[in-house]
Amino acid sequence: MSRDPVSSDLEELEARTLYILREAFAEIRPLAMLWSIGKDSTALLWMVRKAFFGRVPFPMVQLDTGMELPEVYEFRDAMARDWNLDLQVVDCPPEEVMDPTLPPGGRAAARKTEGLKALLRTHGYKGIFLGIRRDEQSMRAKERVFSPRGEDGAWNFKDQPAEFWDQYKTEVPEGAHLRIHPLLHWTELDIWRYTRQEGIPIVPLYLARDGMRYRSLGEKNITVPIPSTAATIDEIIAELETSRTPERAGRTMDHESEDAFERLRRSGYM
């Protein structure tokens, strides 16, 4: 079958992401990308390699709480080696120093926020790429592609910059930075279809074993696997096409209180 280069919706989604990556690279220095080793940020990393013709011209940062599953660390080290990544592992501060009024899941998330702030302080990054999607969570649905964050990482969601016709806010004051979201327009299903099409490596935990799999991969203390028999990507796609279970159902922090996620994001969470 001859493939029309623009007929596929996946290629359109990808083209948009490549465009955003290149805009950021042209306008903002220094840059880094947060790589959680999950399916989304790994697909994004795949597209970074496409955008820059096999190079990854900025560091990949893992905000490490030490609580990832062993398979995640194995995958990280293998990919860093195979793709010649400049990998920066940031150890997040311990849970004891987090805001005690936050629910437990929120405290775990806050550790990553603090790790990110430390990273920004140390390296002075002006732009941070993140693989978040609008369909993940209703707060993320309100994000801009280029989202300014204040000096303390805070998100002023009541006054977000205008953003249209692929024109983005690319300047921020000293001390502030931009969160850049090249995957906002993708859905969970899109990511899996793209992963299948491109043959992108994934952490095997996404595939079902003994009737369970991880749909969303977080730290082992705050994420639980879901019942599933989807042992291949094809089966994951078939499962998602009929599922009405939210993607982050296995994430505790999203469900602890009505505004838990908003509080996290406002204060700088990813």
Partner 1 sequence: MPTSTSAHRQIRIVITGHVDHGKSTLIGRLLHDTGSLPDGKLAELEAVSARRGVPLEWSFVLDSFQAERDQAVTIDTTQIWFRTATRDVVIIDAPGHREFLKNMVSGAAAADAAVLVVDAAEGLRDQTRRHAYLLHLLGLRQVAVVINKMDAVDHSAARFGALSREVERYLAGIGLTAAAILPISARHGDGIAAYSDALGWFGGPTLLEVLDRFDAARPAVDRPLRFPVQDVYRTDGRRIVVGRVESGILRVGDRLLFSPSGRNARVTGIEVYGTAVPPMEARAGQAVGFTLDEPVYVERGDLASHEDYPPQLTDVFRIRLFWFAARPLAVGDRYTLRLATRRVGVTVQTVEKIVDTDTLATRTGTVVARNAVAEVILRTDTLVALDGHADNPATGRAVLVDGGDIVGGGIVGMEGYPDQRRLMAAPRTANLHRVDHLLTPEVRARRLGHRGAVVWLTGLSGAGKSTLSMRLEQRLFALGYHTYVLDGDNVRRGLNADLGFSPADRAENIRRVGAVAALFADAGMVAVTAFISPYRADRARARAAAEAAGCPFVEIYVKASLDTCERRDPKGLYAKARAGALPDFTGISSPYEPPESPDLVLDTEVEDADACVARAVAFLTTRLGLSVPDSTPDGV
Question: What distance in Å separates the CA atoms of residue 136 and residue 130, rounded to the nearest whole number?
Answer: 13
Q: Site for partner 1 (CB under 8 A): which residue of 59, 93, 161, 201?
A: 161
String marking each residue 223-252 x if it binds partner 1 according to CB under 8 A: ---------------------xxx--x---
Residue 187 interacts with partner 1 (CB under 8 A): yes or no: yes
Cβ closest to partner 1, residue 115 vs residue 182 = 182
Query: C-beta of 64: minimal distance to partner 1 in Å?
Result: 29
Nearer to partner 1 (CB atom), residue 93 or residue 103: 103
**Residue with smaller CB distance to partner 1, 24 or 72:** 24
> Which of 71, 135, 151, 235 touches partner 1 (CB under 8 A)?
135
Residues 65-124 that bind partner 1 (CB under 8 A): none
Q: What is the 3 state secondary structure string of the chain?
A: CCCCCCCCHHHHHHHHHHHHHHHHHHHCCCEEEECCCCHHHHHHHHHHHHHCCCCCCCCEEEEECCCCCHHHHHHHHHHHHHCCCCEEEEECCCHHHCCCCCCHHHHHHHHHHHHHHHHHHHHCCCEEECCCCHHHCCCHHHCCCEEEECCCCCCCHHHCCCCECCECCCCCCCCCEEEECCCCCCCHHHHHHHHHHHCCCCCHHHCCECCEECCCCCCCCCECCEECCCCCHHHHHHHHHHCCCCHHHHEHHHHCCCCHHHHHHHCCCC
List the interface residues with partner 1, window 16-75 (CB under 8 A): 16, 18-19, 22-23, 25-26, 49-55
Stretch that binds partner 1, among 73-81, 212-220, 222-230, 255-263 (CB under 8 A): 255-263
Q: Is 156 in the site for partner 1 (CB under 8 A)?
A: no
> Can you give the binding site for partner 1, defined by CB under 8 A?
4-9, 11-12, 14-16, 18-19, 22-23, 25-26, 49-55, 134-135, 138-139, 141-142, 144, 157-158, 160-165, 167, 169-172, 185, 187, 244-246, 249, 258-259, 262
